[in-house]
Structure 1
Amino acid sequence: MELTSPKTQSWLSWFLRGVLVLFFLFLISRLFELQIIKGRYYRELSDGNRIKRIKISAPRGKILARGGETLVGNFGDGKRNYVLGSAFAHAGGYLGEANEGEIGKINPKCPGKGPRIMGDFVGRSGLEEEYDCTLRGSPGEELIEVDITGKYVRTLGKIEPTSGKDVKINIDFGLQKEVAEEMADKKGGIIATDSKGEILAFYSSPSFDPNNVVKSLNDPALPLFNRIVGGLYHPGSVFKPIVAVAALEEKKIDKNYKYQDPGIIKVNDYSYTNWYFTQYGRTEGEIGIVRAMTRSTDTFFYKIGEILGIEKMVEYADQFGYSEKSGIDIP
């Protein structure tokens, strides 16, 4: 006795054949998709797992003193070496790792060096910042093939890095070191220049160690603050010629103007004296503009400043460049 009829067997046979055909059609279409349509994608994905790109850091250029001595160089492992330490910190500056806002961005001052990538270091202050494009080199790259376990197989290609350029400045190595030693435990700043205005020494105190900036970040003495370019100070006696010129130009006084020096001037609760009165208890007596300039008599210039008025003093100070930046290459 048969369990199925010939008609039923025929239908079941065709059904199984149809399923088999559909399976093969699906398999062929899937292979077509993987091999043809998405073949390039998967080949690149495979290469990405097989080929590794290794960045080769470029040595940063050195900062040299006027005599050729190295002020800022590099250790063998590529880390920055600040030779004078805190003695050249504010002038030399320091490096910091590129942040999120810098990664992938191109410095418009040196577009040819490409975008910053993670792990790059950027000049954060001083000459490191000002000449970052010059000091910064162009990194190289090595392409290597690895096996399925990630082990090195062979080198496929290599682009050598290009070192940054050295920057030679006017700082005198010995003088810079000596100035820093003299300013130990003092607060303030010193600039030493030659007759041409070239800066031979530049030091702000207290200072910090650029080889280890982190430890100075929370120091209440603010060692990272550059008192030379960031502080505001009274100009002192160099402002006296400005006041004198302004008073003469505005006809507030003439060359024959005389003033009876009292040695001291009181403004509300404050008293201001001449150096002559402070040291010797004496006054200059009747004094004119030439002698007042020669003797640096404060009370004379206080008086003609009062006659001139604050607005005119500011106007003439601006004309003499007191509101302008000096152009020093320290940001």
Structure 2
Amino acid sequence: MDRHKFLKIAIILVFLLLLVRAGYLQLISGDYYYQLSEGNRISVRPINAPRGKIYDRRGEIVVSNRLSYNLYLMQNEIPPESTAKTILSKLSELSSLSKSRLMNNYQNSESKNSVRPIILARHLTKEDMVIIAENKDLLPGLLVKEASMRDYIYPEELVHITGYIGEINRKELIAFNEAGYDYSGGDFVGKDGLEKEYEFYLKGNPGAEQIEINSRGKKIKTIGVKKPTPGNDLVLNIDFALQHNVEKILENNYSRLRKEAKEDEDRSAPTAISAVVMDINTGGIISAASLPDYNLNLFARGISNQDYQKLRSNPLRPMVNRNIMTTVPPGSIFKLVTGTAAMKELGVRANTSFYDSNGTFKIPNWSRPFKNWNPYGEGRLDFVRSIARSNNVVFYELGYELYKEYQGEKLAEYARKYGLGTKTNIDLPSEKAGLVPDDKWKRKNLDQGWYPGDSVNLAIGQGSLMTTPVQLVSLISAVAGEGIAYQPQLVKEIRNSEGEIIKEFKPVVNINLKSEIENRVFKTLKQGMHDVVNKNYGTASRHFRHFPVTIAGKTGTAQTGGANHGWFGAFAPYEDPQIAIVVFVENGGSSGYAIPVAREIMAYYFGLKNSKNQKNRVYYHSRENIY
């Protein structure tokens, strides 16, 4: 009995002691321990990682970064009496930062850790930085940190090549993080061009400083530092000196042609102009430009919706890279494909004779004749001369003969051998594949079979055939390389911030016809292209008169039902090909307006920009269409 009483008394005493201790901690020392817990918090401050730079082939920086400031929300520095939403609402009232943008970036953050910062806004204005600093007591938990902003050093050049960056959207955020990358709401990512294509190389990995702070958010000491890793740098095949001059040449000719069209009601004003220059021996793109374009620095800080909609609604479509995104008929440049098929499948040779009696071709039992660009008959001409003259009648006949033997299949087959109808896999997003029509396609899309007229039209690069300038520069390169063409490539190598090469892009063969097509075929095509430029009867000869480098080329005028498109493709030097070039004048009326543009580019490339030979430059003003 005494033992049970003793046990009860002991238990009561223990509970009394615990109760007294709890009261002491709560009532007497509570404030002390609250302040202690509040004053010994861990916080993680972000350290920005700059985005990788972009260099041309000679080491000139064309895209860099400059100092900027970002705004972060430090979740664990928000006092108990406040919330993130009330702080962001107050911030939007005091500053130019919109509440919706702040809330979106807060809610889109993947961070579930209260220690990890959330980025709310990038590239703060000086005014907003002052407001945040002056209202620090009203805006606890906010941190302004140094960062970097994209600096497009030449904001109106290389526009469609470099592309631009913009704030990450929800879809991108989910996709990138599911792919294993670390992104947060508010991050800026590549949206177009190389910025988008090489996003995961260009993006740096941010660092962090882990610190101990007191209740006022002041740093007490550093606990640890994780250094940031800058993004990797891109080294391009682009020669910026050439690029700069190509863009000037395009700009001057584009402005001139549009001005002349305003003064001549019979002329059509071109809606765009582009050029692409490729190294035949590697596939490296050494210059590529498309006008109209826009100013890249509109996007560096984050473009306003008003400016973005203005670009999007522009009828001249400045955001479209014509070299890879516009698909139109190639016109007479396609005769190189028809010629290949005719020599291989019909036994045509360089000296095969044809006769153009009156500038027209008729399919038996068809009432409508197919006309040559030259309304007068050109008489007897061999196959090489028919290329030089771009004689439609000869190629109509070849298209019809191929139809009689193979229906529409052989022309389509040879077009695909040259890479038409598929992407070239140039390292840019949004490349179009174009279209090579055939019987199967026509039955599926038009519910019609393939007729003789379809082959006749296709033989001169018309009808439903759709190509891009970059596809045609590959075609020209394949002819110049006698069956070999390399994949178009903009980036030569990728280097880390220490300058070490982490990825090198070796030439990749895209088209290989060596085993299928004999050299005599390519030599005949090349001879025809030579005569286009160098014989007095060639369709481009007067523009290259006295030009000191031997050029080989092919004119092309694509009929659209409205204003024609003008094309000119060429390679040089003829004896030892180095470069292939294609100039495209959208809705420009004739290839005659593309030829002098190519001549100027060739002159600069071969160091003739100050040569007296520039005096021989000819601008095309004739009403006659060159095909």
Task: Sort the TM-score into its range (normalised by shorter chain).
Answer: 0.7 to 0.9
Q: In structure 2, how many angstroms separate the alpha carbons of the residues matched to 1:134 and 1:107?
A: 15
Q: In structure 2, how many angstroms separate the alpha carbons of the residues matched to 1:104 and 1:232?
A: 32
Moved more, 256-265 or 96-105: 256-265
Residues 180-213 of structure 1: CA distance to partner in whole angstroms, max 9, x if unpaired? 2222273121112234232111111111112104
Unpaired runs of 5+ in structure 1?
A: 1-20, 32-42
Q: In structure 1, how many angstroms separate the alpha carbons of the residues matched to 2:391 and 2:40?
A: 80
**Residue in 2 that maps onto 1:6:** none
1:162-241 matched pairs, under 5 angstroms = 162-184=229-251, 186=254, 187-196=272-281, 197-213=283-299, 214=303, 215-219=307-311, 220=314, 221-241=316-336
Q: CA deviation at 1:91?
A: 0.1
Amino acid at match of 1:286: R
Q: In structure 1, how many angstroms separate the alpha carbons of the residues matched to 2:151 and 2:401?
A: 56
**Residue in 1 that maps onto 2:161:** 91
Q: CA deviation at 1:291?
A: 2.5
Q: In structure 2, how many angstroms separate the alpha carbons of the residues matched to 1:65 and 1:313?
A: 39
SS class of match (1:119): coil
- Count residues in correspondence: 284
What RMSD, in angstroms, separates the aligned Cα atoms of the two structures?
3.1
Q: In structure 2, how many angstroms separate the alpha carbons of the residues matched to 1:139 and 1:179?
A: 38
- Would you say 1:101 and 2:171 are equivalent positions? yes
Q: In structure 1, how many angstroms separate the alpha carbons of the residues matched to 2:287 and 2:248?
A: 12
Amino acid at match of 2:411: M
Q: In structure 1, how many angstroms separate the alpha carbons of the residues matched to 2:291 and 2:425?
A: 22
Amino acid at match of 1:192: V
1:264–1:271 Cα contact (<8 Å) kept = yes
1:56–1:141 Cα contact (<8 Å) kept = yes
Amino acid at match of 1:292: S
SS class of match (1:218): helix
- Would you say 1:243 and 2:341 are equivalent positions? no
Q: 1:145/1:232 Cα in 2 relative to 1: closer, same or farther (>3 Å)?
A: same
- Would you say 1:133 and 2:200 are equivalent positions? yes
Q: CA deviation at 1:126?
A: 1.0
**Which stretches of structure 1, 4 residues or more, deviate above 6 A after TM superposition?**
46-49, 266-271
**Residue in 2 that maps onto 1:11:** none
Amino acid at match of 1:226: N
**Residue in 2 that maps onto 1:259:** 355
Q: CA deviation at 1:83?
A: 1.2
1:66–1:171 Cα contact (<8 Å) kept = yes
Q: 1:166/1:236 Cα in 2 relative to 1: closer, same or farther (>3 Å)?
A: same
- Would you say 1:80 and 2:165 are equivalent positions? no
Moved more, 228-237 or 213-222: 213-222
Q: CA deviation at 1:96?
A: 1.4
Q: In structure 1, how many angstroms separate the alpha carbons of the residues matched to 2:243 and 2:161?
A: 10
Amino acid at match of 2:412: V
Moved more, 60-69 or 95-104: 95-104
Percent of counterpart pairs with the same letter? Answer: 36
**Residue in 1 that maps onto 2:54:** 63
Q: 1:83/1:147 Cα in 2 relative to 1: closer, same or farther (>3 Å)?
A: same
- Would you say 1:54 and 2:148 are equivalent positions? no
SS class of match (2:386): helix
Q: In structure 2, how many angstroms separate the alpha carbons of the residues matched to 1:270 and 1:107?
A: 61
Unpaired runs of 5+ in structure 2?
A: 1-11, 23-33, 69-147, 255-271, 430-627
Q: CA deviation at 1:228?
A: 1.0
Q: 1:116/1:171 Cα in 2 relative to 1: closer, same or farther (>3 Å)?
A: same
2:40–2:212 Cα contact (<8 Å) kept = no
Q: In structure 1, how many angstroms separate the alpha carbons of the residues matched to 2:276 and 2:185?
A: 37
1:138–1:162 Cα contact (<8 Å) kept = yes
Q: CA deviation at 1:229?
A: 0.7
TM-score (norm 1): 0.75
1:216–1:223 Cα contact (<8 Å) kept = no
- Would you say 1:299 and 2:393 are equivalent positions? yes
1:144–1:157 Cα contact (<8 Å) kept = yes
Q: CA deviation at 1:106?
A: 4.1
> Over alpha carbons, which structure has the higher Rg?
1
Q: In structure 1, how many angstroms separate the alpha carbons of the residues matched to 2:172 and 2:335?
A: 47
Q: CA deviation at 1:169?
A: 0.6
Q: In structure 1, how many angstroms separate the alpha carbons of the residues matched to 2:428 and 2:38?
A: 47
Amino acid at match of 1:301: F
Q: CA deviation at 1:218?
A: 2.8
**Residue in 2 that maps onto 1:119:** 186
TM-score (norm 2): 0.41
**Residue in 2 that maps onto 1:3:** none
- Would you say 1:325 and 2:410 are equivalent positions? no
